[in-house]
Amino acid sequence: MGDLNSFGFGQTGSITSAQTRNRVLRNTYALLALSMVPTVIGSWLGVAMGFNPFAGSPFMGFIVFMAVAFGFFWAIEKNKDSGIGVLLLLGFTFFMGLMLSRLLGFTLNSYSNGSALIMLSFGGTATIFAVMATIATVSKSDFSGLGKWLMVGVLLLIVASLANIWLQLPALMLTLMVGAIAIFSAFILVDVQRVVNGGETNYIMATLAIYLDVYNIFTNLLALLGIVGGNRD
């Protein structure tokens, strides 16, 4: 997986550049699909075991989650040119599946239509991804300038989410969910186009970025649908 020749490096001509970008994009989509397997396994195990660490301390849970996540980010970045990077990425997606199991378990246990909400969220996320990825691939517009503004939006979301742990404002919670869906949908435009335009030539890092976009859209969409369309038992 770390063989640069497999991506067309070392060849010459403009066609090679297009071939390289297309191959990185195909590998990114393939690895993204593969990454869903450990995510599903982690989610299933988490729901079955009732995985819910730091249930009484959301702030501490957030700190531990961020520490583990950034540890994975660092390790994946260091090994992005080898098969170890793929294994680390799959390990990270398993961890994210475990973390997702808390929301899935809550949805299944709290709403009589919990299974339908999960499937609707999955379908909605898939639709958003397909639309945004298609736009990023065929559009002549340059979306790279959105990146810095979207990062500011993510930082604001994090700060507001931490504040709402204590404030517990329903209106703010709904606003944050809608904002997160919009921001990470726009991030798909940026991240996919970066591969299409040759700005990202490593499919492991490209997969990591797009996976986080999809994950955040799904979790926020599911939480939002639970609030506005969940049927309490």
Q: Is pLDDT of 165 > 90?
A: no
Is residue 233 very low, low, confident or very high in pLDDT (cuts 50, 70, 90)?
low
Residues 91-119 pLDDT 10s: 999 999 999 999 999 999 999 999 999 99
Q: Is pLDDT of 2 > 80?
A: no
User: Count of domains in the chain?
Assistant: 1
pTM: 0.88
What is the residue-averaged pLDDT of the chain? Answer: 88
Residues 113-133 pLDDT 10s: 999 999 999 999 999 999 999
Q: Which residues of 39-77 are buried (b: 16+ CB within 10 A; e: fewer)?
A: beebbeebbeeebeeeeeeeeebeeeeeeeeeebeebbe
Structural domain range at position 148: 4-229
